[in-house]
Structure 1
Amino acid sequence: MGFPLTDVADLPTVGDRVESLTDLTEVEGGPGAKLATVRLQGRAFRQEFAASGTPDRIDTCDLITLPYPTRFGLFRASRAIAPFLSITNRMIVIRWTESDGRKRVLLFEPSDHELGRYTPYFDTLSARTPDVIENRMVRPHGTVLGHLTALGIAPNEVDYLMFDHLHTQDLRRWIGTSSYQADLNEHPEAAFPNAKVIVQRDELAGMADLHPLQKPWYQPDTFRDVPPEAFLPIDGSVILGPGVAAVKTPGHVFGNQSLVVNTSTGIWVSSENVIAAEALKPEHSKLPGLARWSRDWQQEIVLNANTIETTADQYNSIILEKTIADRSQKDSRFLQFFPSSELTGAWTNPGTTPTFTHGAISHTA
């Protein structure tokens, strides 16, 4: 395949390692022992992170609403008759000031959804869906560059791009390529010339040799000609700035990571490990089936499981997220967990309208 990122040992990294969140592969015992360790570590990290300060500003930008199989998004729990639900993908823009006065800008989930649609799963789904139905279910809201313009941020001011994982992502227009791209009919220059992509080293290694369970969700060939030096591989959890952290949460993919931010309303966590805040608190959900399924199966969360790479690890990672996040000030039954792709009600999808939504994270210091 020619994927260039199989050896990233010499690339620089970023952030200060979080010592309270250790590698769970070193924990003796099975998944249950790891789950107990996760709860202890999550409480310790939550306490220290709350004292790390806050970023200057956080803005949330809607990108696109699209269909997603109900059996994936609400794994085994939903009794909705709708085969598809809708999720809205959003970008979070975080700005902070370093101790030396340097300003930083991080974009979390800056998906190029125009190219993301060519991910094998979504490309196949689109080919099978009549245009009139697709046009009702797929609703673009804005572009990454358009939102940044509205926020007064120039592309050359962006320091970091970060995704919870690289499913569906095509980064060529963001970080450039080393050669002409025939499918784009251009040799794209980097829209973000100074930005580095923060990614878990595990995911880069996994993308170099995808398992069949992973292949429908990645576009590995689009990484063939991207510059390796545009990446900042990290191993585990790191503090990126005051009140900003990348926390390793493996399971949904081997190198999954979550954004954690400390704000005026407390600590928020964001990833795609679940698609609704109520998936962390299914006992309060009015979605058909969720509360009963949680009781019957004695599971306290509902996975987003389009890939089942390491399901027990994903469950444990969600418990870590659940332990870290503060309660919502809008409704204390739920947590300040913000799905990077959030369940969105639609008349076309009966039985999938969420009980509770966040819609955005907003913060100004």
Structure 2
Amino acid sequence: MKLAWQDHDVIHMPTLGTRITLFDCLDEVPGGYGAKLDSARTQAKAFRTEFAATGTPDSVTTCDLVTLPYPTKFGLFRASRAIAPFLSLTNRMLVIRWRESDGRRRVLLFEPSDYELGENTPYFAALIRRTPGALRSLSTTRHGTVTGHLARLGIRPEDVDYLMFDHLHTQDLRRWIGTTEPQADLGGTVKPVFPNAKVIVQRPELLAMSRLHPLQQPWYQPETYESVPPEAFLAVDGALLLGPGIAVVATPGHVHGNQTLVLNTSTGIWASSENAIATECLTPEHSRLPGIARWARTWQQEVVLNANTIETTAEQYNSLILEKTLVDRSQADPRFLQFFPSSELTASWTNPGTSPTFTHKALTHR
């Protein structure tokens, strides 16, 4: 499959922000994944101090998008003893605003999922076909749309500078960044909702999408990237400081090009990704979810992964430890960390045994 950027200089484009070199050495650590784990902890501790000194953004706002079913065996990898085969995840968008040193205003949308088109992802499309309509209506709740939330916040689409996802599973970006050719399912050539926005994505994920591995194929929609404008992408290599108290850090494993949003706020440092689906997955010893604490004790593993593709399990574990080391403890309950899952485990009566012990529900900074 030929994607839009394959004969274009997108993979050679200069990136934005200020390069963070502190994590560059992680790939070069000799001695295997155990040695890399130790190095990840050390580098994350060093970065915490530097990052806190960069300031804070002007504001961070959380917008609920959709709650939907997700297999328990994926979300609580090997650890859960819940009887329910599915749990519920709530996908949320973060709206981050800041000013550059020259006074220019910036807007970043993190996880602005077009969930209507996301339903065409092979895994979810197959699940929808197998699920009776009445059951789908019970298990899926649409809370709001990306454009609806922005209108409520008084943000014009043309004022959005950056779109960013922790990874591109399920994402169809055609409506957001437009297309260069007519799209049969969308009624013609698509004009972008966000005409000035660039998509921040790790370079390895862009490159991988042109030839997906069978483990990856159920979770991507590569055909939707054939006619999007390649200049809409900003290829990132590793970690960058985007603005005051705003950084992107490479956290590979869940997918090869996974990335994490890191924010410094009035309550301290937060990280957001889908490496885990609940903050208690980073401190499983405090979890009341059936099986979680016991599994962590038995296997001496201090985190519980979100593992649907299992691209590189040990690498994802190390990435989650890096996130765990970066963040501060919750002021609401210090047993848990300020890790904000981009899709967070949500209690539902339809899914016994999957109600989280603690949820953030929102990440807010003003």
TM range (shorter): over 0.9
Q: Does 1:88 align with 2:90?
A: yes
Please point out which of 55, 58, 61 is paired with 1:59. 61
Partner amino acid for 1:4? A
Query: Of residues 136, 148, 152 in structure 2, which corresponds to 1:134?
Result: 136
Matched, 1:41 2:31: no
Pairwise CA distance, 1:24 = 2.2
How far, CA to CA, are the matches of 1:140 and 1:210 in structure 2? 30
What CA distance in whole angstroms lies between the structure 1 residues aligned with 2:339 and 2:363? 10
What aligned pairs does 1:212-361 form with structure 2 within 5 A after superposition? 212-361=214-363
User: Structure 1 residues 172, 23: CA separation in 2 closer, same or farther (over 3 Å shift)?
Assistant: farther
Gaps of 5+ in 1: none
Give 3-state SS (helix, strand or coil) of 2:340's partner.
Answer: strand
Structure 1 residues 25-47: Cα deviation after superposition (integer angstroms, max 9, x where no partner): 21111000100000000000111
Distance in 2 of aligned mates of 1:147 and 1:324: 29
Alignment of 1:116-265 (within 5 A): 116-265=118-267
- Note the C-alpha offset of 1:12: 3.1
CA distance in 2: counterparts of 1:190 and 1:89, whole angstroms: 22
Contact kept in structure 2, 1:276 and 1:342, CA below 8 Å: yes
SS in structure 2 of the partner of residue 90 of structure 1: strand
Shift of residue 179, structure 1, vs aligned partner: 0.8
Q: Residue 260 of structure 1 contacts residue 270 of structure 1 at CA under 8 Å; is this kept in 2? A: yes
- Residue deviations 1:85-138 (CA, integer Å, cap 9, x gap): 000000000000111100000000000001000000000000000000001001
Give the total of aligned pairs.
Answer: 364
State the Cα deviation string for residues 316-357 of structure 1 (Å, max 9, x = none).
Answer: 000000000100000000000000000000000000000000
The 2-side partners of 1:267 and 1:118 are apart by: 35
Aligned AA for 1:103? R
Q: Deviations over 1:119-173 (max 9, x none)?
A: 0000000000000000100110000000000000000000000000000000000
CA RMSD of aligned residues (A): 0.7
Distance 2:65 2:20 in 1: 31
Instruction: Tell me the equivalent position of 1:10.
Output: 12
TM superposition score normalised by structure 1: 0.99
In the superposition, the TM-score normalised over structure 2's length comes to 0.98
SS in 1 for 2:107: strand
CA contact (8 A) 2:80 2:291 kept: yes
Q: Which range moves more in the overlay, 137-146 or 21-30?
A: 21-30
Cα pair 1:5 1:205 within 8 Å, conserved: no
Q: Give the Cα separation in 2 of the matches to 1:19 and 1:265.
A: 26
Residue-by-residue CA offset, 1:255-292 (whole Å, 9 max, x unaligned) = 00000000000000000000000000000000000000
How far off is 1:13 after superposition? 1.3
CA distance in 2, matches of 1:342, 1:5: 32
* Conserved 8 A contact 1:327-1:335: yes
Deviation at 1:310, TM superposition (A): 0.4
Q: How far 1:184 moved relative to its partner?
A: 1.5
Change (3 A) 1:278 1:15: same
Q: 1:2 is aligned with what amino acid?
A: K
Aligned to 2:365: 363
* Amino acid corresponding to residue 130 of structure 1 in structure 2: P
Give 4+ residue runs of structure 1 displaced > 4 Å after superposition.
none
Does the 8 A contact of 2:5 with 2:11 survive in 1? no
- Distance in 2 of aligned mates of 1:298 and 1:80: 20
Secondary structure at the residue paired with 2:40?
Answer: helix
- Deviation of 1:19 (Å): 1.6
Identical counterparts, % of pairs: 69
Amino acid at match of 1:215: Q
> CA offsets, 1:166-225, max 9 Å, x none?
000000000000010012222110100000000000000111110000000000000000
Distance, in Å, in 1 between the alignment partners of 2:5 and 2:180 is: 14
Equivalent position SS for 2:66: strand
The whole-number CA distance in structure 2 between the counterparts of 1:255 and 1:219 is 16
Alpha-carbon deviations, 1:26-75, whole Å to 9, x = none?
11110001000000000001110010100000000000000000000000
Letter in 2 for 1:3: L
User: Is the partner of 1:132 in helix, strand or coil?
Assistant: helix
Measured after TM superposition, the shift of residue 2 of structure 1 is 1.7
SS at match of 1:58: strand
> Following TM superposition, by how much is the alpha carbon of 1:23 offset from its aligned partner in structure 2, in angstroms?
4.4
3-state SS in 1 of match to 2:280: helix
Matched letter for residue 38 of structure 1: A
